[in-house]
Amino acid sequence: MGCEVSETSFKNKKYFSPAYSVISTSEASSNLSRFDGIRYGYLAEDYDDLNDLYKKTRSIGFGEEVQRRIAMGMYYLGSSFDRKIYEKALTARKLIVDELEKSFESFDIILSPSATSLPEKQFSNTLGTVGNFTQGDYHVLANLIGSPAISLPMNEGIGGSVQLIAKKFDDQKLLSIANRFFEEVR
């Protein structure tokens, strides 16, 4: 397509998923606390007291995965840790942001896999919860650094997808390159 392609690697890749997991679940826990059924969100109909209202509202109003992420976030922000895990994750994110900003001095777009393995068959979950988190090594990157990204399907024989990531505020360049790339590979 007329692009110059160079290979690169990220020395802080091992922090992508752990930092994302801690930061996103901590922020979800904090942000979703307002959904108590009184001010925002689902309101349970049958309850005995305020504690029962909160328990039923959140048990019924939030799905299993959301509840799991809220619980993890509460754990990371809990007083027994004094927010140390969350603060370490923020430090890791800063290392990742600095490394990627340096990469964008040399690259317009970063091309990476979207996941660390090929997609599973429909209705199969051989990875489990932890495996699902580690599948995000690449696609959590854009969320951590605040950059625009897009995943594009690859050929139908293998399946899977690739991800294009641009530097902050280069959305138009990203979409233009993604469109050209998609037209070429399909």
| pLDDT tens track for 29-84 | 888 888 877 788 888 888 899 888 888 888 888 889 988 998 999 889 887 777 88
Determine, yes or no, domain membership for 50: yes
The whole-angstrom separation of Cα 147 and Cα 86 is: 21
The whole-angstrom separation of Cα 125 and Cα 145 is: 29
Q: Which domain holds residue 167?
A: 104-186
Q: Which of 61, 94, 127 is the last residue of a domain?
A: 94
- Residues 182 and 144 reside in one and the same domain: yes
Domain count of the chain? 2
The pTM of this model reads 0.77
- Residues 111 and 186 reside in one and the same domain: yes
- Residues 44 and 114 reside in one and the same domain: no
Token pair listed for 98 = 């600095």
